Chains A and B, each alone.
Chain A
Amino acid sequence: MLLELKNLMVSYKTREGRVLAVDKVSLPVEEKKTLGLVGESGCGKSTLGGAILGILPRETKITGKAIFNGTDLISMPSKELRFIRGKDISMIFQDPMTSLNPVMKLRDHFLETIFTHTKTSKEDAIAMAEQALKEVGISSNRLNDYPFQLSGGMRQRVMIALSLVLNPKLVIADEPTTSLDVIVQAQILQLLKGLQEKFKMAMILITHDLGVVAEAADDIGVMYGGHLVEYAPKFKLYKDPLHPYTKDLLASVPNTNIDDKELRFITGYPPNLMNPPQGCRYAERCSKAKEICKQKIPPDFYTDDGRLVKCWLYGEGEGK
């Protein structure tokens, strides 16, 4: 196991009050595999990714553990974490325009990343940058370009090249294709999969799009209202979803099956995490909710084949 999250909790303060964005999430990330983290906006999936890398605002309170290669990232002083961030773990963001510095040439983006973590000569560093660009299908003479000279898809390719240039063991990709058109999205997903196999790295793919994780992930964690409600290998999850939320969500995705024209949806809205419900976060929208669901947060139940489901339907009393 490359990374293990144990009871990770993240909360932050807003003007209206404290928000419990991530609530006791435990998750494994296997080596060389892709973990898809899906959920709707405000479910805590991006906060979770940020917590692992320690890039959340200082006021954020994080408890629990994130054990990466045997060391806990959460308790690590931020000085040491800096050496891991960008080298062993790197990040790809949703909007490449805002994460690339508009007044820096691509070359300088690469040099900055490389020199922060390694002692290489400038020639070697540029060779590394050229190689990384080649991997993502961009010609090396664009190193002297500024970000605005690239199209949206190319900028995302540059972001990917930047995140791979130091051979990280884990890449956290936060909605990497959300701001792109479908065809470019398909290109980027193909690219990411190819590179992942080639460089043998693990990936956490954070997205709201169930289609994207179906294509690109190996294991999937479903989040709702700050809870991890289900975790399972991809094929099992889509074929036989356990948690009512996963079921409802899968049913409400517009599919392209021509004969199926019935619109299914989940009534109501996601909970307000400023003032979360007492019991299961999904209880008020759940068609199978029982009395206990409204009163007590369900524990994490594990099935015999290692799946996780946070729902009272799958066990009474203690659970695990």
Chain B
Amino acid sequence: MQEWSLSYRLGKGLRRLFRDKSGVMAFVGFAILLTYLIMAIFAPYLAPYDPVRRSGKAFSAPSKEHWFGTTNLGYDVLSRIIYGAKIALKIAFLAVAVAAAIGIPLGLISGYVGGAFDRILSMFMDAIYSFPGLILAIAIAAVLGPGVINVALSIAVIYAPTYFRVIRNQVASLKDQLFVEAARAMGARNFSILGRYILPNVLPSVIVVLSMNLADAIMTEAGLSFLGLGISPPTPDWGYDLSNGQRFLLLNYWWMILFPGLAIITIVLGFSLFSEGLNEFLNPNVGETRR
């Protein structure tokens, strides 16, 4: 699935690093995510300054007053990072929720029904899937214009096919399983076969894809904002801050670019760790013995 995605490759590398310690992986990932979540929720209490008001001299290096320094407009970088978590997570969760809400039901039906319906829908989804994600998102975002909802929607469009494909392929193989035949032999209706026998078996991989996609969604959102297609300034946003800081890189104001960059990297790492750890953890038949 999504071999090109950064978080997928990152996840594979991490898995090699941690070997069998899936629990440790999931825990470290969870700890990182929890930190960002707390930052997002309690931003007004945690941030030392207002992120969109001048709080000191422009371009001041990290100091006691401004731990992460200030921007070209004299905004406090640390406060912007804390508030930025709010935007990043909001868009990511919204985008992934929309993508899942489209992709999962379609995948379930398409895989179970099969036939021409399945073939046409799969073709359509593959067509979307074959676009490079960021470029498609740029195109949609350019049409829709900036704003939280619009950015989330344009990201959702590129991830919906992922859910569709993962779910559809699993359902297509699950429906030939013996326990599904058993359910039919009991006289179960299609609806209850889908809901009680097939869905629970695809749910673990959905959860894994979900947390993996959250990481990618944050990357894409940062990318869009970096290109000026995301959230309009001065709303605190990591991708925008990164692109803003990059303009002053030659002047050696490293803190303007280092800290937003670090924020993006660590949150993606957190999601990747969490999803890989979860993947191992949720597989029900590990350690299975037949007697």
Contacts and interface: CB of A to CB of B under 8 A. Distances in A.
A and B touch in the complex (CB under 8 A): yes
Contacts of A15: 286-287
B189 interface: no
A40 B289 CA distance: 13
Nearest to B291: A41
A41 B287 CA distance: 16
B61 to A, nearest CB: 50
A262 interface: no
B171 to A, nearest CB: 27
Nearest to B290: A41
B291 A14 contact: no
A16 interface: yes
A270 interface: yes
A181 to B, nearest CB: 21
Interface residues of B, number: 5
Secondary structure of the B contact surface, majority rule: loop
Contacts of B291: 40-42, 269-270
Nearest to A40: B291
A269 B286 CA distance: 22
A74 B62 CA distance: 62
Secondary structure of the A contact surface, majority rule: loop
A150 B32 CA distance: 54
A219 B287 CA distance: 34
B289 A42 contact: yes
Interface in B249-291: 286-287, 289-291
A269 B290 CA distance: 13
Interface string B225-239: 000000000000000
B224 to A, nearest CB: 42
Task: Specify which of B287, B289, B290 lies most central, judged by the most chain A CB atoms within 10 Å of its CB.
Answer: B289
Contacts of B289: 42
Contacts of A42: 289, 291
A14 B290 contact: no
Interface in A29-67: 40-42
B287 A16 contact: yes
Contact of B287 (A14, A40, A269, A270): A14
Interface string A95-133: 000000000000000000000000000000000000000
A164 to B, nearest CB: 30
Contacts of A40: 291
A95 to B, nearest CB: 14
A40 to B, nearest CB: 8
Contacts of B290: 41
A15 B283 CA distance: 12
A36 B291 CA distance: 21
Nearest to A15: B287
A40 B287 CA distance: 19
A16 B289 CA distance: 12
Interface string A262-273: 000000011000
Nearest to B22: A15
Nearest to A269: B291
Nearest to A19: B289
A42 B288 CA distance: 12
A28 B172 CA distance: 51
B20 to A, nearest CB: 9
Task: Specify which of B286, B290, B291 lies most central, judged by the most chain A CB atoms within 10 Å of its CB.
Answer: B291
A269 B291 CA distance: 10
Nearest to B289: A42
Interface in A264-305: 269-270
A223 to B, nearest CB: 15
B219 to A, nearest CB: 33
Contacts of B286: 15
B285 to A, nearest CB: 11
A249 to B, nearest CB: 15
A16 B286 CA distance: 10
Contacts of A16: 287
Interface in A1-30: 14-16
B280 to A, nearest CB: 10
Contacts of A270: 291
A272 to B, nearest CB: 10
A119 B260 CA distance: 63
11 contacts: A14-B287, A15-B286, A15-B287, A16-B287, A40-B291, A41-B290, A41-B291, A42-B289, A42-B291, A269-B291, A270-B291
Given A14-B287, A42-B291, 9 more contacts: A15-B286, A15-B287, A16-B287, A40-B291, A41-B290, A41-B291, A42-B289, A269-B291, A270-B291
Interface of A: 14-16, 40-42, 269-270
Closest CB pairs A-B (n = 9): A15-B287, A14-B287, A41-B291, A42-B291, A16-B287, A15-B286, A42-B289, A41-B290, A270-B291
